[in-house]
Structure formats: structure tokens, C-alpha cells
Structure 1
Amino acid sequence: MTDFNIEGFTYDRIVGADGVKLNVAQAGEGPPIVLLHGFPQTHLMWNAVAQELKRNYTVIALDLRGYGDSDKPEAVSPQTYSKRTMAADVVKIATQFGYDRFAIIGHDRGALVAVRAGLDYPEAITHIGILDVLPTKDTWEVLHGVEAKVAWHLYLMAQPKGLPEKMINAVADEFFASFLDAWDPTGATFSPELRDHYVRMSKGAVPSIVADYRASASIDLDMDREDHASGRRLAMPVAVISQDWGSQLGFNPTEIWGAWAPDFTYEAINAGHFMAEEDPARITGFARQLLTR
């Protein structure tokens, strides 16, 4: 990694679904795979994994709208940061590279975009890899009691526009750093420079990050509920890898994912939330195994 770019990748700003320009990195040859980051990070979380995957695949890694070096439009409606809009960004960018069909692997927020892309564009998405998240509908359903305090930030950023942004801006360094530290059990996953980079980029994106989370407590939840009720499912192979949150929060992840994806695998591992950086070899193997299905 050099100057907070992935070394050997070509960078460009590419127009997404509604004129928003996204920061996109691309390298490699072979079947295409799109990598989507989570919170509070950027596409740089895929650095080590992307370097390995580009040996056999065309790798496209991007900053989601509202994050990193991508545009951060004002949330003029719930649709601005809905996962449907973000999924449309991804599909449009892939087609501009010449790919009508491609795989997606997403972490956290990016995994929610991957799920929505699979539901909305089943003809375009060949495989979906999910790192350490549940679908939006199920996330809200499993959070209950004192154990749900692990997701306190979801409730904060679900509040009406105004107060959450003010509260976070008042202690932005501490707010974003707290997740990088609390969700990294080794304490050594990030270099000081990369940790500071993630905090700095997130501080510059408070309104859009809050809008992203607010969408997950409103429009994204409504879409998930509608799809689930109608029997709409992920038609492509799906692989999920996560921490063992089920034992803490009292849910069965295989039942949850089985209700969304007839063809899926699930694995719980001993790792922190930022597993693509904590154990890139494990996640690279996860990706390769998925892509051979």
C-alpha cells in the first residue's frame, strides 16, 4: 500500500447510478470480483486480500458513496443512501468496465449492499461473499435486551436528522476510533497510520455515514421485509463467514441465511470484526472457495 492506495491498482473516479462519482481501484485479469468495504473504513481494508486475488481475478475495489474518496451527496431522500441505490452504483461501475456478470464480496455495510445487489440484479451477480453481518431485517430482529448494546451505534444513527450528526461531530475522533479499537481483539490489525487514515476519512463523512445507517433503519428494512414476505431469495451461491455472534445474541445464523439463500455455506471463526485485515490469508481462501462453486 502506498499513500493510502492499493499498490499496483489503477485508480479512477467513475460515475455511479445517479451522477455520484465513486473512487474505484482495479487490477488483475480473469473473472471479475467487486470488493465492498464496511464501517468505519474504505476500500483499503481489502489491500492484502486484493493483492492475492488479482493473481487470478479482475479485482474492483471501491469506496461506497458517502465514504472515503467517493462523493458524499446530501441525503435529500431516504433513497440517496439506500442499499438499492448503492447496489445500482456497483452494477453501473462494473458494466463500465465491461462486465455484465460479476461476483461481490462485502464486509459489514458493503455486505448489505452485496445482498441488495443479489436481490435486485440476480442476472448480474454470480456469487456473493458476506463478512460478519446479517441481512438488515434480521439484524433488527435479533437485537434485544442488554446483549444488544454491542450495536448501540445502530440506534444512535437511526434517529432523525440533526442530533446524531451533532453528537458524533463533537467527539468524532473518539467515536470512530472506538470501533477500530473495540472490534480488533489483537490490537495490532492496523498500523497507526492506517488507523488514523480511517478515522480522518470518517470524520469528513459524518452526515453521509449517518444517512447510510439511517437508511438501514427505514427504507432498507422496508425493502428487506417486502422481499422476505414475497419469497424473493438470493439465487446465486452465497458464502458467509463471521464471528460467533449467534451464541451471544441467541440466534441461529444458518436458519437466518437459509431463509435468504437456498445455496449457501456458513462458517463462524475465531477472529475480530476486521477479519480481512486481521487474517487476510483466511479471507482470501474463503473468497477463492466461493468463486469455485
Structure 2
Amino acid sequence: MFEGFSTADIETAGARIHLRHGGSGPPLLLLHGNPATHLSWHRIADRLAERYTVVAADLRGYGDSIGPRDGGARHEHYSFRAMAQDQVEVMRALGFDSFYVAGHDRGGRTVHRMCLDHPGRVRKAAILDILPSQHVWTHVDKKWATDAWHWTFMIQPEPFPERLMGSVPADWFMRHKLSKNGRGLDFFPKEVFDEYVRCFNEKTIHASCEDYRACASIDLEMDTADIQAGNKVAAPLLVLWGRHGGVGAAGDVLSIWQERAALPVVGGATESGHYVPEEDPESTYRWFVRFFQD
């Protein structure tokens, strides 16, 4: 995994971001989801590095990245705006003023905000296995509340979810969280799963709860304001989702994202559940190679 990659820790205005980078060619930033780290791209990072300069980064507070302990009065320090700003600064520090970007889960929400806040930076964007946050919060039903229980649990005031999540062994929690879609854990190599467990500490638990609190408050306000103002993703947009996950069952994925994009949205379902790049790396790789072309 990540053969020939270098590791780095880059200080941004609000965080210290841990990452790996390697390869050559156009820059491609890869962002992970909750409760994972940049290792979620381990099945395709080496192959992508044959075509691109790949940067796989931990979001602030996740993995080995460090964000502020104080999430802010309105959780703004863990908003997707703050997370997107981190990654723009990271890419600039590495010498890239514009770049391709792909994000899964929380990384995908960071990519969405990055496209809106930094349209001149994003050449093309790929978003994996999510629907827009504002759409999610305004289309809640019993099935979603049952399947996505952590959304409403983790937004509860500190320290309630932090104390409960930290009161059980990290290995136990991760096994139950990562397998909640019923597809097991076989697609997570032991060394990757062990890293997810290692990084699931007090720092990450608090940061991830702040991330979810921000999503339900300040992020929702920003998303709603963008919709009302008619602001849309200007960059070409690829959307992928797992055929056996909950996103595809929630509606017409491409049509929902098309409402948020200025250009025609492309994409489709992969033979996976939620963890698209780890469950179906071959399809993910093929989509990326076709899409990220000048």
C-alpha cells in the first residue's frame, strides 16, 4: 500500500493535516469518510499514482490530523468549510493552485463545500456514496433514522456521545460501526482495520462528533443559503454510489446531485455497499481514469 509515497504533516491556518503523497502527473486529492482515514484509498492509490500526483489526506481531527479542541460556539471549526479550507491550503503548500479532488462520505461533503467556496481551485470533482447534506436533513424518514442512527446520536451536546463512544473498546465499536450495513468486514485488510482502530481515540471521537454537530447546524445553514442564492457546483462532477448501500435506495442519485450542479453530472452505481473505494476498487479506478482527463 502506498508504495513510493512520502508522508507529511502540513500546518494550515486551523489544523495540522497528516497526508501521504506520491506519483506524477496532474494533482489528485483524495479525502476519506467517517470513521476512517486516508487509508480508505489503499486499494487504488498506487495505481492512480501511475497517472496522477496523488495526495491522500486525513481530514482535520481524523486519523493523525489534529484539529482544535474547541469546536467553536457554532461548531464552525469542524464545518465542511473549515475542512475544505485545510485541504486547499495543503495543496497550495505542495505547489498546486488547482487540482482534481475525490471524496467519500464526509470527504465527499468536504468536496461539495470546496467546489462552492473555491471554484477556481477545483478542476473536476468526484463525490462517493452520499447525497447532499441539506437533502439528507430535509428528507428524514424511519428507514433513514434506523440505518443512519449515528447522525442523530453524534450531534447530541458534548460530552454525551463522546463519553458513550469512548466507554467501549475501539476495536468493538469499529467492528460494529463498519459492519452495520450487513456486508461484513472482509474487504478491510487487517492492517487497515487496525489503523482505523488505532486512530479511533479521544481526539478523533470528539472531532468526529463536532463534524456531525456542524453538519446539522452551521453547514445546513450554509447549504440552505447557497440553494436560495442559486449557487451550484461549477466544476465537472462525477457521482458514484454503492448498489448495495442506502444512498441508491434513497432516490434518483444523479438527479438529486444535478440540482446542485451547473454542468451535467455523470456517474453510476458500483458493486459495493457504502465503502465504495474499498469494496469495489476496480470500478472506482476505472471511473476515475475516465473522468479525470483534461
Query: Helix, strand or coil: the match of 1:142?
Result: coil
Amino acid at match of 1:148: A
Work out the CA distance in 2 between the residues paired with 1:91 and 1:60.
12
> Cα 1:76–1:146, aligned 2, differ >3 Å: closer, same or farther?
closer
Amino acid at match of 2:222: M
Per the TM alignment, residue 27 of structure 1 is displaced from its structure 2 partner at its CA by: 0.5
1:1-20 equivalent positions in 2, closer than 5 A: 1=1, 6-18=2-14, 20=15
Work out the CA distance in 1 between the residues paired with 2:144 and 2:110.
26
Work out the CA distance in 2 between the residues paired with 1:248 and 1:96.
40
Work out the CA distance in 2 between the residues paired with 1:95 and 1:287.
22
> Cα 1:235–1:147, aligned 2, differ >3 Å: closer, same or farther?
closer
Q: TM-score, normalised by structure 2?
A: 0.92
Work out the CA distance in 1 between the residues paired with 2:247 and 2:77.
32
Query: Helix, strand or coil: the match of 2:200?
Result: helix
1:106-255 equivalent positions in 2, closer than 5 A: 106-173=103-170, 174-183=172-181, 185=183, 187-204=185-202, 205-244=204-243, 245=246, 248-249=249-250, 251-255=251-255
Residue aligning to 1:265 = 266
Per the TM alignment, residue 179 of structure 1 is displaced from its structure 2 partner at its CA by: 2.0
Work out the CA distance in 1 between the residues paired with 2:5 and 2:248.
39
Identity across matched positions, percent = 36
Work out the CA distance in 1 between the residues paired with 2:290 and 2:256.
22
Equivalent pair of 2:13/2:86 in contact (CA under 8 Å)? yes
Alignment partner for residue 34 of structure 1, among 22, 29, 34?
A: 29
5+ residue gaps in structure 2? none
Query: Helix, strand or coil: the match of 2:271?
Result: coil
Q: Does 1:286 align with 2:287?
A: yes
- The superposition leaves residues 104-155 of structure 1 with CA deviations (integer Å, 9 ceiling, x where unpaired) of 1000000000010000000110111011011110121222124431110000
Work out the CA distance in 1 between the residues paired with 2:289 and 2:10.
27
Amino acid at match of 2:190: P
Amino acid at match of 1:54: A
Equivalent pair of 2:100/2:123 in contact (CA under 8 Å)? yes
RMSD: 1.6
Q: TM-score, normalised by structure 1?
A: 0.93
Per the TM alignment, residue 184 of structure 1 is displaced from its structure 2 partner at its CA by: 6.3
Equivalent pair of 2:33/2:106 in contact (CA under 8 Å)? yes
Residue aligning to 2:92 = 95
> Cα 1:267–1:69, aligned 2, differ >3 Å: closer, same or farther?
same
Equivalent pair of 1:172/1:203 in contact (CA under 8 Å)? no
Per the TM alignment, residue 270 of structure 1 is displaced from its structure 2 partner at its CA by: 2.8
> Cα 1:258–1:193, aligned 2, differ >3 Å: closer, same or farther?
same
> Cα 1:188–1:28, aligned 2, differ >3 Å: closer, same or farther?
same
Equivalent pair of 2:37/2:62 in contact (CA under 8 Å)? yes
- The superposition leaves residues 61-90 of structure 1 with CA deviations (integer Å, 9 ceiling, x where unpaired) of 111110111113213411110100110001
Query: Helix, strand or coil: the match of 1:255?
Result: helix
Work out the CA distance in 2 between the residues paired with 1:153 and 1:84.
21
